[in-house]
Structure 1
């Protein structure tokens, strides 16, 4: 049944890069095909008895899937109860492992951040984008952008190379975390990347939250709306006009609807507001 389970993982877009051993009832971490080298965002737990079943997912995307083998045999009430118990135990093991991984990443992020020097505007990426290093720090040639939750706790770091390449500290929490540029007064802007957020801050003087990617916009929006219930929010979208479905604009509108915010996005003619 390992093969059927692995096929289900592949069908969900979570196939492991290397062959995966699945010990009975033990959580296994692995690198998902398409993820960066060295990462282990995928996880899986498989039980063979009484009915082959398991749970798998990705800490990177937050998704979770349950699988059960197809069989012509009818399970007894005791077998069904045992299956539910094991699936529940698998989910608890996943949650405990995720908490451990997140805690280790947060501790590493704090150590790296505390030992780093302030970044300067001379960094090649900042010069290319024409923006300042608002509170950033540097590790060798890498800029570091801290990702914090609404309570200010550091969870992970984004590293930006001189060529603009970006990566996150492995295992760190991203969902709902952001980097704040400026202090909000009567309005707060939300943007995906650091360069866009810094440009907005320089142009408007407004506080901006860096959400890191479009998939994180809605989580950050809800978190900040809870923190600042009376503020006016504007979601400043990346207009991915050349990408099917325009994920940047779609995510911005979803986030705006979730918190009652406006949306601003660039167009070929200038800046459009809706």
Structure 2
């Protein structure tokens, strides 16, 4: 019977692919965890994870999947009963727990290596040139950044102030993180947050939040991505309950699913913050 559950996972992935949601990486073991996963799909841009899926492997397996870029959202289920004996369930649970522990170990190792690389790169980098095209175009404060091999370096910190990763921005605006590096819960801070009761703005991109900081005078925090916005908002709301937060959302109305607006509204609702959006579509 355990083999039928593995078949259910394969059937689920097959249903995804028939709908055009085609993972470019192995996801079977991650699906077996029963948690919502994100992954790179065929047709996604480099570094993007627009695919998502969740699968519940109970007596009648069911799940859902989709792709934010394609605007796809589908439900899926198995009609037949796949009840397992207690022994079969125990073996599967042990197998999935071992796979999950291995993934966690590999992820932590990769993130640790990237963090060491980030510290080495940051410490040896040069002051950013005032002629850097992205710096000049976005009117960024050069004293907050460094430069290496023509790329603007943005440090990515956790709540304790440890440097874990770097966002590297080319002159044309192409952005890359260090391969295998941590991104969850990391942020970049602009402005002075030492005063109690201060208004603080939290949003996605560094350039966007730099513009907000420049125009309002409020301290600003960049979370780097839509999927990281909620984690950063929760972190700061917990660490500094004396502050008044405004979530500055991207308006992705040009996409099939307005992720920027949805995640901003969700984050604002969760921490009891105000929310703001650009009057026109964000560039």
Q: Same fold (TM over 0.5)?
A: yes
Distance 1:102 1:9, change over 3 A: farther
Higher mean C-alpha deviation, range 8-17 or range 231-240: 8-17
Q: Which one of 234, 237, 262 corresponds to residue 250 of structure 1?
A: 262
Structure-to-structure mapping, 1:232-247, within 5 angstroms: 232-247=244-259
For structure 1, which runs of at least 5 residues remain unmatched after alignment? 23-29, 40-68, 270-274
1:106 to 112, 115, 131: 115
Which residue is equivalent to 2:146?
137
Q: SS where residue 181 of structure 2 aligns?
A: coil
> In structure 1, what is the equivalent of residue 86 of structure 2?
77
CA separation of 1:245 and 1:15: change in aligned 2, threshold 3 A? closer
CA shift, 1:218, in A, is 0.6
Once residues 216 and 185 of structure 2 are traced to their aligned partners in structure 1, the CA distance between those partners, rounded to angstroms, is 24
Q: State the distance in 2 between where 1:253 and 1:137 align.
A: 33
- Is 1:168 equivalent to 2:181 in the alignment? no
Corresponding position of 1:53: none
Q: 1:228/1:73 Cα in 2 relative to 1: closer, same or farther (>3 Å)? A: closer
Give the TM-score, by structure 2 length.
0.72
Number of residue pairs aligned between Structure 1 and Structure 2? 235
Q: Which runs of 5+ in 2 are unaligned?
A: 30-38, 49-77
Matched residue, 2:133: 124
Q: Which residue of 2 aligns with 1:87?
A: 96
Out of 195, 204, 224, the residue aligned to residue 216 of structure 2 is: 204
Equivalent residue in structure 1 for 2:235, among 223, 231, 244: 223
Which of 187, 191, 204 is the aligned partner of 1:192? 204
Does the CA-based 8 Å contact 1:121-1:131 persist in structure 2?
no
- Residue 133 of structure 1 deviates from its aligned partner by 2.5
Structure 1 residues 78 and 242, CA gap change in structure 2 (3 angstroms): closer
Between 1:130-139 and 1:251-260, the stretch displaced more is 130-139
The 1:75/1:199 distance shift into structure 2, 3 A limit, reads closer
Give the drift of 1:37.
Answer: 6.8
Give the match for residue 63 of structure 1.
Answer: none
Measure, in 1, the Cα distance between the counterparts of 2:11 and 2:113: 31
Secondary structure, aligned partner of 1:266: coil
RMSD between superposed Cα atoms in Å: 3.4
Higher mean Cα deviation, 208-217 or 1-10? 1-10
Quote how far apart the aligned CAs of 1:6 are.
5.8
Q: 1:238 to 1:99 in 2, by over 3 A?
A: same
The Cα shift of 1:202 comes to 1.4
Q: Secondary structure at the match of 1:189?
A: strand
Q: TM-score, normalised by structure 1?
A: 0.74
Is the 1:134–1:181 contact (alpha carbons within 8 Å) kept by the matching residues of 2? no
